A and B are shown apart, each in its own frame.
Chain A
Amino acid sequence: MAWRPGSKSLMAHIPTHSFWRAVAQCLAGSIAVALLTFGCFHFQVTPATVGLLYLIAVVLVSLTGALVPSLLVSIIASQCMNYFFTEPLFSFSMNHPLDFVALVVFPGTALIVTRLISTRRRAMDVLLVQASLLNLTHDTVFVRDTSDVITYWNRGAEERYGWTSEEAVGQVSHHLAQTIFPAPLEAINAELLRTGRWEGELTHTRRDGTKIVVASRWALQRDQSGNPVSVLETNNDISERKRAEEQLRKLNDELEQRVIDRTTELVATNKELEAFTYSVSHDLRAPLRHMAGYTELIQKNAPAVLDEKSRRYMRMIADAAKRMGELIDDLLAFSRIGRAETQKTMVSLDQLVKEALSDVRQDQGGRDIVWRVGELRNVYGDRSMLRLALCNLVANAVKFTRTRPRAEIEIGRADGKADEIVVFIKDNGVGFEMKYVNKLFGVFQRLHRTEEFEGTGIGLATVQRIINRHGGKVWAEGMVDRGATFYFSVPKS
Chain B
Amino acid sequence: MHELGRILIVEDDPSDVELTLTALEEYNLANEVVVTRDGEEALDYLYCRGKFQTRTGENPAVVLLDLKLPKVNGLEVLQQIKGDEKLGMIPVVVLTSSREEGDMVSSYKLGVNAFVVKPVDFHEFVNAIKELGIFWAVINDPPPGSVKKK
- Chain A interface (Cβ within 8 Å of chain B)? 278, 281-283, 285-286, 288-290, 292-297, 318, 321-322, 325, 329, 332, 336
Top 8 nearest A-B pairs (CB, nearest first) are A325-B120, A281-B98, A296-B122, A290-B15, A282-B97, A293-B122, A293-B19, A285-B97
Would you mind naming 18 contact pairs between A and B with Cβ atoms under 8 Å apart?
A278-B98, A281-B97, A282-B67, A282-B100, A285-B97, A286-B97, A289-B19, A289-B97, A289-B122, A289-B125, A290-B19, A292-B121, A292-B122, A292-B125, A293-B15, A325-B120, A325-B121, A329-B99
A289 to B125, CA, bound (A): 8
- Say yes or no: B125 contacts A282, CB within 8 Å: no
**Cβ contacts B64-108/A at 8 Å (1 or 0 each):** 000110000000000000000000000000001111110000000
**A296: nearest chain-B partner, CB-CB:** B122
A108 to B100, CA, bound (A): 116
**A287: nearest chain-B partner, CB-CB:** B15
Does B130 touch A at the CB level, under 8 Å?
no
- Say yes or no: B125 contacts A293, CB within 8 Å: yes
- Say yes or no: B122 contacts A318, CB within 8 Å: yes
> Which residues of A sit under 8 angstroms from B141, Cβ to Cβ?
none
User: A289-B97, A297-B22, A297-B122 are known contacts; what are 4 more A-B pairs with Cβ within 8 Å?
Assistant: A294-B15, A318-B122, A325-B121, A332-B98
> Which residues of A sit under 8 angstroms from B19, Cβ to Cβ?
289-290, 293-294
A322 to B83, CA, bound (A): 38
> Which residues of B sit under 8 angstroms from A294, Cβ to Cβ?
15, 19
> Which residues of B sit under 8 angstroms from A329, Cβ to Cβ?
99
**Cβ contacts B123-145/A at 8 Å (1 or 0 each):** 10100000000000000000000
A285 to B67, CA, bound (A): 14
- Chain B interface (Cβ within 8 Å of chain A)? 13, 15-16, 19, 22, 67-68, 96-101, 118-123, 125
- Say yes or no: B98 contacts A285, CB within 8 Å: yes
Instruction: Tell me the dominant secondary structure on chain A's binding face.
Output: helix
- Interface-central residue, A293, A321, A329, by most chain B CB under 10 Å: A293
> Which residues of B sit under 8 angstroms from A321, Cβ to Cβ?
120
Instruction: Tell me the dominant secondary structure on chain B's binding face.
Output: loop
Q: Pick the residue among A289, A318, A332 that contacts B118 (CB under 8 A).
A: A289
- Say yes or no: B100 contacts A278, CB within 8 Å: yes
A293 to B122, CA, bound (A): 5
A293 to B67, CA, bound (A): 20
> Which residues of B sit under 8 angstroms from A295, Cβ to Cβ?
122
A135 to B7, CA, bound (A): 101
- Interface-central residue, A285, A325, A329, by most chain B CB under 10 Å: A285
- Say yes or no: A289 contacts B120, CB within 8 Å: yes
> Which residues of B sit under 8 angstroms from A285, Cβ to Cβ?
97-98, 118, 120
- Say yes or no: A296 contacts B97, CB within 8 Å: no
A78 to B120, CA, bound (A): 135
A332 to B101, CA, bound (A): 11
Q: Pick the residue among A281, A283, A322, A332 that contacts B121 (CB under 8 A).
A: A322
- Interface-central residue, B13, B16, B22, B98, by most chain A CB under 10 Å: B98
> Which residues of A sit under 8 angstroms from B96, Cβ to Cβ?
282
**B96: nearest chain-A partner, CB-CB:** A282
> Which residues of A sit under 8 angstroms from B101, Cβ to Cβ?
336
A289 to B15, CA, bound (A): 9
A329 to B120, CA, bound (A): 11
A329 to B97, CA, bound (A): 11
Distance in Å: Cβ of A390 to nearest Cβ of chain B:
21
**A326: nearest chain-B partner, CB-CB:** B120
> Which residues of B sit under 8 angstroms from A286, Cβ to Cβ?
13, 15-16, 97
> Which residues of B sit under 8 angstroms from A292, Cβ to Cβ?
120-122, 125
A282 to B13, CA, bound (A): 12
A322 to B125, CA, bound (A): 12
**B15: nearest chain-A partner, CB-CB:** A290
- Say yes or no: B100 contacts A288, CB within 8 Å: no
A432 to B120, CA, bound (A): 32
A87 to B114, CA, bound (A): 143
A193 to B100, CA, bound (A): 73
A282 to B68, CA, bound (A): 8
Distance in Å: Cβ of B26 to nearest Cβ of chain A:
10
> Which residues of B sit under 8 angstroms from A293, Cβ to Cβ?
15, 19, 22, 122, 125
> Which residues of B sit under 8 angstroms from A278, Cβ to Cβ?
98, 100
